[in-house]
Amino acid sequence: MSSEQQPNPRLNEDLLFNEAPGGPPRYSSQSHKPVQYLTVADRGGEAIGYVWANDEDDAAGWLVRKAGGDEAFNKGARWARKLHDAKARGIAPTAALAEMIKESDPSKSSHVVPGSLTEAPNVEVVRSLAAAS
C-alpha cells in the first residue's frame, strides 16, 4: 500500500456555472446607430477616455484611452460607475451624459472636457478613437 494520498477525482471535473437572471440594470454595450460622446480628461488636461450614449438602443459605455495606461483605466472606474448609477435610476443614456457635463468638476482626478460633446456615426468610431489615441 502506498502512503501517497491520491487526489480526489472530482478536482479534475469541469465546473458548471449557470447564469443567474437578474443583477443590476445595465445599458447595452452595443449600438450601430449614431452616438453622442464626451471626452474625459485627467486633472492635467490629458484625455483618458470617452463616455458614449445612444437612446434608441438604450446603450452607453465608458471607453478608456489605450495610451492612458493603468492610470486612465483606474480613473475611468468613476465614469463607468456613473453610468451604472444612472441606469439604476432609470435615466436615458444621453440624459446621463448631460448629468456628467453638469456635475463635472475640473478639481477632481478626472472631468468632462468642456465643449467636448460630439456625435459619431456609431460607437465603433469612438472605440477607434480610444484605441488609437
pLDDT tens figures, 57-107 = 999 999 999 999 999 999 999 999 999 999 999 999 999 999 999 999 999
Q: What pTM did the predictor assign?
A: 0.82
pLDDT of residue 12: 75
pLDDT of residue 105: 94
Q: Which three cell numbers stand for residue 12?
A: 479534475
- Domain locations along the chain: 38-132
- Report helix, strand or coil for 48: strand
Rounded CA gap, 104 and 128, in Å? 25
pLDDT of residue 95: 98
Specify the higher pLDDT residue, 15 or 115. 115
Q: Are 68 and 48 in contact (CB under 8 A)?
A: yes
Q: Is the dihedral of CA 120, 124, 125, 126 positive or negative?
A: positive
Residue 41 has pLDDT above 90, yes or no: yes
Q: What pLDDT digit, counting tens, does each position of 7-35 carry? A: 777 777 777 777 777 778 999 999 999 99
Range 50-55 average pLDDT: 98
Residue 133 has pLDDT above 70, yes or no: no
The residues, any chain, with a CB within 8 Å of residue 117's CB and separated by 6 or more, are: 36, 37, 38, 97, 101
pLDDT of residue 1: 54
Q: Which three cell numbers stand for residue 96?
A: 446621463
pLDDT of residue 58: 98
- Report helix, strand or coil for 51: strand
pLDDT of residue 118: 98
Q: Are 32 and 59 in contact (CB under 8 A)?
A: no
